Amino acid sequence: FTLNSKSTGHFSGVVYDSEGKEVEKLFRKYLPQGEYDFVWNPRNQPAGVYFVKLSDSFSSITRKVTYLK
């Protein structure tokens, strides 16, 4: 996943399953302006639909991900 930060601030990335349960925190950190790439390795998660939410202090964006084994 790519995060393009237009300003410096606190950012977080969280993965949820299709029922809305938190599966994993990808990151939670203070980042300067710039572009960042993050990888989610589902490890022992079952195949299915997941949602990745990227947030900063002012907004958030959620992306649907289908994981196939």
Q: pLDDT by residue (tens digit) across 9-66?
A: 999 999 999 999 999 999 999 999 899 898 899 988 999 999 999 998 888 999 999 9
Overall pTM surpassing 0.75 (yes/no)? yes
Angle, CA of 35, 37 and 38, to the nearest 5°: 140
For the chain, the straight-line distance linking the first and the last C-alpha, in angstroms and rounded, comes to 19
Rounded distance, CA 9 to CA 54, Å?
Answer: 13
pLDDT of residue 38: 87
pLDDT of 17 = 97
